[in-house]
Structure 1
């Protein structure tokens, strides 16, 4: 039996996933986010501590999770008092500020 993934628990809490379908979407988003963040870190041969790495993965996974309900980049909401809002089309945008201190100066995140 495998140990539960602590990042999956954090992601499910972050996006308020309750149903089995939402939790499955969290698993998919988390797997993709890990690949994306790790690829950026590897491309700069950076040494990122665990906590900022994990936070970057959670941020990217959250963006990927919410993209599934954001047709054309605009997320609709069910509460009549809230306005629809635009989802960032680049899921790594939220990870850039987190990873920036460990990347070469002036390079940013590709």
Structure 2
């Protein structure tokens, strides 16, 4: 049980690093700006490494869905918080629904 718990924590952390690399990729202007490009590669390596580690214990369909949802939701929330994307009730509700559906995958795992 402890190994599975650690895998879930690493998977969620890896999803957060997915948001970091996605944001850095956007700010790198096609990998032409040095610092965002370096952040992109470091975060991408960390994110993928954590995903690979977590998938040793977590089924790939569930793990990939959680990793992607954590990254997508975090990226969208960060973009809204920084003013890069508009904030609306519909966006917030849809992001909440995304996270709830993916959390449901864990519950359905049985």
TM-score by length of 1: 0.34
More helix by share: 2
Q: Per residue, is there more strand in 1 or in 2?
A: 1
